[in-house]
Structure 1
Amino acid sequence: MRLWTGGYTARSNGNATGIGILTAGAADEILAGGQLRFRGNAVAAEASPSWLSAHPTLDVVYAALEDAGTVRAYRRTGDATFEPFGGPVEAGEAVCHLAVAPDGGSLVASCWGDGHVVRMSLDAAGRPSAPVLGVAAADPYGPDAAPAEFSGALDLSGSVDPHRGGDLTSGVDLSRGVDLADAARALRAATGDEYRDLVPDYDVESAAPEPADVVEDAVPRASRAHQAVFLPDGLVATTDMGWDLVRFWRPAESGLRAVQQVVLPRGSGPRHMVWHPSGHLYVVTELSREVFALAPDVTGRWRIVTGTSLGAGMLDDDAAAEIAASRDGEFLYAGVRGSNTIATVRVRGAGDALAPVALVDAAVDWPRHHVVVRDTLLVAGQRSDQVASLTLDLRTGVPGRVRHRVETPTPTCLLVAKQA
């Protein structure tokens, strides 16, 4: 199998020099368990092509040139070579992710540095142009945010399981708000006396804290757009890691029309998402190291259905990165930087229940990105300048031994190549 690698160049204190070529076994194999080899650059790119996305039908790859704040297309010229295709298109500060529409008519760029969400048109040949900036996000926890009018209700259909740990309030629809006192009473009634001590005492009146008790954010909050996902119904979902939001957009002639947002717990840091055939959108949070399941209700309004920790054994300063699903959708895999592990989470029920399974060694330092190829997990280690392949137990879902490892310059993204 052949893959393209994105990475950080010297302009971002990395060692990559362009879009790299990685093979796992023979280049034309459909499996990825073979010997890993890094074969140099498919094309040079100085400004840190940290994320790569492919056109759905054309031999065109798009790179988020993070250090330059631009997006650029590269057209394939051979089995493992590309050439720049059109000029760079402005996106925003530290553009870090690109998602291409299934119809190949547009792409959405997410910018970590300034929070920009940008839609670009793609012409018939795949060249990007006409960037249109989506409306800026607002901090739902900021001093100017409107007070929450808690009018939602708890979804207790499988979202509360005292035996698995996690957040007992994860079934709260935070996009509309919930009266926390009512929520606590409902949870206490649902879980019974045996677990009543685990329920937060939001329904117990307490004196307002003195100003000195107010905890300031250790790091000033700022909008940090990080990923976009095109959903089957035509919506686009984006994460704002800095302001704890998942935002939903409808593509329009003018760019993107914001239609809804779901607020996640303060400081959780939603980073990346993966769409599931069950109709759920799973969101991994970088800072709180959790996975939340989002789904639309009968009215089409999105809400949080459930959530879980990635598991026990993580360090306080760990940071989650990528999330991916197994081929059958039964398991989710999240990379955890710091402790350098891969978390396995099982999907249960109709996709509306999650349970942590295991936390295993990622075999690289700083697992920035990973891809699942049937029974193999390929992991990009940004700080160890390596890519490793791990076995996947198709029965338990847990990654196992290291199959192969190869030196790869500051890898930040792995993209499976189309067969030539």
Structure 2
Amino acid sequence: MRFWVGAYAPATGSAEGIGVLQAGDVDSAWASGPLGMVGTAVAAPGSPSWVAAHPVHDILYAALESDGTVQAYRRTGEARLGPIGSAVPVGDAVCHIAVSPDASFLIASCWGDGRVVRIDLDASGRPSSTPVVAPAATDPFGSTSNGDEIATGATVSGAAVPDLAAAARALREAAGEEFSHLVPAYDAVPETDAETEEARAGVRVSRAHEAIFLPGGVVATTDMGYDLVRFWRPGGGGLRLRQEVALPRGSGPRHGLWHPSGHLYVVTELSREVFVLAPDAAGSWRVISGVPLLGTLEDDTAAELCASRDGSVLYAGVRGSDTVGVLAVRGAGEALQLTALAEAGTHWPRHHVVVDDTLLVAGQLAHEIVSLPLDPRTGVPGRVRHRTPSPSPTRLLPMR
């Protein structure tokens, strides 16, 4: 089985562009076999950190994060891509793309300036050159600082947790040039929303992060800067805001997924929780429950959220302590229970995906992709089964 691999290019990473991963046999629907990078499908120096596929045509859309653009690519060979037209400008640090189920448009989310942008697609999948920016978010908590001092360390259950970046720098210096490369690069982690200059100064900034298509034509978007989940309906060539749901201040909703039970699950990057949202009889969404990823550290950041094949288990990646939260879906989907906090098997698990009995994890700062077997009874990941070098991987997308 093969996957498109989104990644960071030099300046923020080390990839040449969109890569191709092979997991097991090429024609197999399983991903439990040995891993290997086939090569680079197309050069993309603008950092294609997220890629999304057209549901019908052999077309891939890439969020070129450092360029602030969206570029369409057509498949020109088994593992090759070629650009379609010019890149479309959308906004600062575009980090996510979602294509509508009917393939009539896509939505780009911009972490840098909070923009949510609609780009129409023609019948062949070619994007319009005139994107439409949705109404900007407003902070439901206000934008002033509460005056709390920001510490360099964290506390978990009353115990002091060291500053890993400072410790890594000290160890590297003590180890000397010959052995410094053996020290984990905890001082080279990417800047998160909690560490930006604005956050340190107590200023809250809108940071759109993902769009999720829900049944009935509704679109949900996350704003981790303003702690919002926003609900939209397409209309008039753009997006019409229908409702906003505020999560706890400072939680940082990042990614989510719609569950067949009718619930929307959202993982928060900063507070490391998973919230359950549901609509009432009138279609108005609200938070009905939530569960913390107990055992994670306060300076950890959650990343991706995905589900098992049957939807009974959720997997939440956590960067820093490099773990995966395993959550069982309870009742009719309205409740979640944390059943395990497993080792991710790699450093800085930026993205992960479940393929049958295997969890594939992109270790962004380890520059590798690993596979972990999933226990058929509990769904808990085991030890790393296979790994392969892969430069700055940030997204794993199965090929059709």
Name the residue aligned to 1:417: 399
User: Counterpart amino acid of 1:31?
Assistant: W
Report 1:2-151 matches (<5 A).
2-12=2-12, 14-129=13-128, 130-142=130-142
Distance apart, 1:219 and its partner CA: 4.2
In the alignment, the residues of structure 2 paired with residue 370 and residue 110 of structure 1 have an alpha-carbon distance, to the nearest angstrom, of 19
In the alignment, the residues of structure 2 paired with residue 403 and residue 228 of structure 1 have an alpha-carbon distance, to the nearest angstrom, of 32
In the alignment, the residues of structure 2 paired with residue 40 and residue 67 of structure 1 have an alpha-carbon distance, to the nearest angstrom, of 22
Equivalent position to 1:398, from 380, 384, 399 = 380
Q: Is the 8 A contact 1:11 1:46 kept in 2?
A: no
Cα-to-partner distance string for 1:215-250 (whole Å, 9 max, x where unaligned)? x97642100000000111110000000000000000
CA 1:26–1:219: 2 relative to 1, 3 Å: farther
Q: Is the 8 A contact 2:218 2:233 kept in 1?
A: yes
Q: Is the 8 A contact 2:143 2:203 kept in 1?
A: no
Runs of at least 5 residues in structure 2 that lack an aligned partner in the other structure = 145-198
2:362 aligned with 1:363: no
Q: Is the 8 A contact 2:17 2:40 kept in 1?
A: yes
Percent identity for Structure 1 against Structure 2: 63
2:237 aligned with 1:254: yes
The 3-state SS of whatever aligns with 1:242 is coil
Equivalent position to 2:223, from 237, 240, 246 = 240
Q: Is the 8 A contact 2:143 2:204 kept in 1?
A: no
User: Counterpart amino acid of 2:338?
Assistant: P
Report the aligned-residue RMSD.
Answer: 1.1
Cα-to-partner distance string for 1:36-55 (whole Å, 9 max, x where unaligned)? 00121011111000000000
In the alignment, the residues of structure 2 paired with residue 90 and residue 231 of structure 1 have an alpha-carbon distance, to the nearest angstrom, of 26
In the alignment, the residues of structure 2 paired with residue 217 and residue 329 of structure 1 have an alpha-carbon distance, to the nearest angstrom, of 38
Q: Is the 8 A contact 2:23 2:31 kept in 1?
A: yes
Distance apart, 1:394 and its partner CA: 2.2
Q: Is the 8 A contact 1:381 1:410 kept in 2?
A: yes
Runs of at least 5 residues in structure 1 that lack an aligned partner in the other structure = 145-215
Q: Is the 8 A contact 1:137 1:223 kept in 2?
A: yes
In the alignment, the residues of structure 1 paired with residue 47 and residue 313 of structure 2 have an alpha-carbon distance, to the nearest angstrom, of 32
Name the residue aligned to 1:167: none
2:320 aligned with 1:321: no
CA 1:143–1:342: 2 relative to 1, 3 Å: closer
Distance apart, 1:28 and its partner CA: 1.4
The 3-state SS of whatever aligns with 1:400 is coil
The 3-state SS of whatever aligns with 2:204 is coil
Q: Is the 8 A contact 1:11 1:48 kept in 2?
A: no
Equivalent position to 1:264, from 226, 247, 254 = 247
2:370 aligned with 1:388: yes
The 3-state SS of whatever aligns with 1:299 is coil
Distance apart, 1:2 and its partner CA: 0.3
Distance apart, 1:409 and its partner CA: 0.4
Q: Is the 8 A contact 1:11 1:47 kept in 2?
A: no
Q: Is the 8 A contact 2:16 2:43 kept in 1?
A: yes
Name the residue aligned to 1:340: 322
Indicate the structure (1 or 2) with the bigger Cα radius of gyration.
1
Q: TM-score, normalising length from structure 2?
A: 0.85
Name the residue aligned to 2:170: none
CA 1:333–1:382: 2 relative to 1, 3 Å: same
In the alignment, the residues of structure 2 paired with residue 304 and residue 42 of structure 1 have an alpha-carbon distance, to the nearest angstrom, of 41
Name the residue aligned to 2:195: none
In the alignment, the residues of structure 2 paired with residue 314 and residue 308 of structure 1 have an alpha-carbon distance, to the nearest angstrom, of 13
Name the residue aligned to 1:377: 359
Cα-to-partner distance string for 1:183-242 (whole Å, 9 max, x where unaligned)? xxxxxxxxxxxxxxxxxxxxxxxxxxxxxxxxx976421000000001111100000000
Cα-to-partner distance string for 1:341-392 (whole Å, 9 max, x where unaligned)? 0100111000001110101110111000000101100000000000000001
CA 1:392–1:218: 2 relative to 1, 3 Å: farther
Name the residue aligned to 2:205: 222
In the alignment, the residues of structure 2 paired with residue 79 and residue 11 of structure 1 have an alpha-carbon distance, to the nearest angstrom, of 29
In the alignment, the residues of structure 2 paired with residue 285 and residue 322 of structure 1 have an alpha-carbon distance, to the nearest angstrom, of 9
The 3-state SS of whatever aligns with 1:128 is coil
In the alignment, the residues of structure 2 paired with residue 357 and residue 86 of structure 1 have an alpha-carbon distance, to the nearest angstrom, of 47
Q: Is the 8 A contact 1:98 1:108 kept in 2?
A: yes
Q: Is the 8 A contact 2:64 2:94 kept in 1?
A: yes
CA 1:219–1:375: 2 relative to 1, 3 Å: farther
Name the residue aligned to 2:280: 297
Q: TM-score, normalising length from structure 1?
A: 0.81
User: Counterpart amino acid of 1:132?
Assistant: V
Distance apart, 1:143 and its partner CA: 5.4
In the alignment, the residues of structure 2 paired with residue 33 and residue 143 of structure 1 have an alpha-carbon distance, to the nearest angstrom, of 47
The 3-state SS of whatever aligns with 2:11 is helix
In the alignment, the residues of structure 2 paired with residue 29 and residue 18 of structure 1 have an alpha-carbon distance, to the nearest angstrom, of 25
The 3-state SS of whatever aligns with 1:233 is helix
The 3-state SS of whatever aligns with 2:131 is strand
Distance apart, 1:11 and its partner CA: 3.2
User: Counterpart amino acid of 2:304?
Assistant: E
Matched length: 345
In the alignment, the residues of structure 2 paired with residue 104 and residue 28 of structure 1 have an alpha-carbon distance, to the nearest angstrom, of 26
Name the residue aligned to 2:149: none
CA 1:143–1:412: 2 relative to 1, 3 Å: closer
